[in-house]
Amino acid sequence: QSVLTQPPSASGTPGQRVTISCSGSSSNIGTHNVNWYQQLPGTAPKLLIYSNNQRPSGVPDRFSGSKSGTSASLAISGLQSEDEADYYCAAWDDSLKGVFGGGTKLTVL
Amino acid sequence: EVQLVESGGGLVQPGGSLRLSCAASGFTVSSFEMNWVRQAPGKGLEWVSYISTTGRTIYYADSVKGRFSISRDNAKNSLYLQMNSLRAEDTAVYYCARSLSGNEDAFDIWGQGTMVTVSS
């Protein structure tokens, strides 16, 4: 059971906009920044969004993040086949540990 | 090229020990906070441990506290994870990950991972 809650799966067709939710509590998302990671099959995770809505250099602006209260969302617009991957939200927790969501498997139909 | 390369994984019996290493290149590890994150087969990511630039601040996940020990050797530009009293549930790919400068809770550089299998 992950501390942060994500839907196990999501899907969309090419060109569509997809959102993935991440729910936490006052001790993690409610107090700390949310980060998002993309993990392509068989590879290490890649930082996609940090500090709720910041994109590292090289991440397309099709990816965006937002946070409100104890929840956060990742939005992917103009969905492409290469976006098919697992997506994880993460945050720091007041109990002095990092916490991840269980991951969302995105399928591009 | 900025890179992290883990080593030291393998097959170990329950109750045994293993020491993972993470060699950094392309950047000076002493300037960054570092972490270990693991992923059990077919499962999600689990944060394991954090160490500050000086090594004086260290945090562990509850699941490994008292059994695992994180350390760093800035002279060797490397990070380590000493794992003792290993259990079957510690079986996972272990990644070392660099904290993003100014945002220690975001991990911007990851190694390729090293597999640890705990089984008799």
Residue A10 pLDDT > 90: yes
pLDDT at A96: 87
In degrees, rounded to 5, the angle at the alpha carbon of residue B70 between the alpha carbons of residues B37 and A99 is 35
Q: Which residue of A has its CA nearest to B111?
A: A44
Q: Which residues of A touch B103 (CB under 8 A)?
A: 33, 35, 50-51
Do residues B117 and B10 lie in contact, with contact meaning Cβ atoms separated by under 8 Å? yes
Residue A1 pLDDT > 90: no
Q: Do B111 and A99 touch (CB under 8 A)?
A: no
Looking at chain B, the whole-number percentage of residues with pLDDT higher than 90 is 96
- At a CB cut-off of 8 Å and minimum separation 6, what does B102 contact? none
- pLDDT tens, position by position, A51-104: 999 999 999 999 999 999 999 999 999 999 999 999 999 999 998 899 999 999
Looking at chain B, the whole-number percentage of residues with pLDDT higher than 70 is 100
Q: Which residues pair with residue B97 across a beta bridge?
A: B35, B110
- pLDDT tens, position by position, B49-98: 999 999 999 999 999 999 999 999 989 999 999 999 999 999 999 999 99
| B110 part of contact set with chain A, CB < 8 Å | yes
Residue B60 CA neighbour count, 13 Å, CB half = 13
Residue B17 pLDDT > 90: yes
Q: Do B110 and A46 touch (CB under 8 A)?
A: yes
